[in-house]
Amino acid sequence: MIIILFIFVFVGLSNGANQKIPLQGRKGQWQLLLNNTGVVGMHMALTYENTVIMFDQTEAGQSRYKLRKRFNGTMCKTNQHDLTDSTCFAHSVEYDISSNRIRPLRLDTDPWCSSGSFLSNGTLLQTGGFHQGAKRVRYYRPCGGNHHQCDWIQSKKSLSDER
């Protein structure tokens, strides 16, 4: 599992002409915010809502967060099969910087080897992945105070070819 560390390093500001203006007398420092995020952070992205989205491949095994339902909608129980079924576990989380809290997110297909970018409205777009995720398009749009309503949305349309 990953440990979250943020470093504040002041190396200077740009004046627009690719010249750095040093910030005299300021030094950065390490600060431990969480011991464990509960998922491996293969990808991380800072959103405009001051949250960090982290996610890893869905076949990575168990995470710290058990889901109530599998990707196909069937319930996850506490039997031996469900405890080893990676689809019963969250492989993505949203970390809220201001509250220092983690919220599990659902990924329906594997984003391993995917690529991503932010759209102009702040939505994180992830494309491609592995196996069933190879042609998939996923979106995550931060929603401010309504954090419990935000989750990954998988497009009904697919890429024409694998990543």
Query: What confidence tens digit (pLDDT) does each residue in 7-44 have?
Result: 333 334 444 455 555 666 777 778 888 888 888 888 89
What is the residue type of 17?
A: A
Q: Which of 97, 93, 116 is nearest to 105 (CA)?
A: 93
pLDDT of residue 12: 41
Closest C-alpha to 95, from 68, 65, 128, 137: 65
- What pLDDT sits at residue 121? 93
pLDDT at 125: 92
Centroid of chain to Cα 23 = 32
Non-local CB neighbours of 156 within 8 Å, separated by 6+ positions = none
Tokens 């939505």, residue? 123
Mark out the alpha helices in the chain (DSSP H runs). Answer: 80-84
Domain ranges of the chain: 43-154
pLDDT for 133 = 80
Kindly state the tokens that stand for 84: 């080893």
Where the chain has pLDDT below 70, the residues are 1-24, 145-148
Confidence (pLDDT) at 148: 63
> What Cα–Cα distance (Å) separates residue 59 from each residue in 53, 89, 153, 156?
18, 10, 19, 22
pLDDT on residue 54: 92
Mapping DSSP to helix (H, G, I), strand (E, B) and coil, where does residue 132 land? helix
Question: CB under 8 Å to 78, separation ≥6 — which residues?
Answer: none
What single DSSP character describes residue 87? G
pLDDT (0 to 100) of residue 3: 39
Rg (alpha carbons) of the chain, rounded to whole number: 18
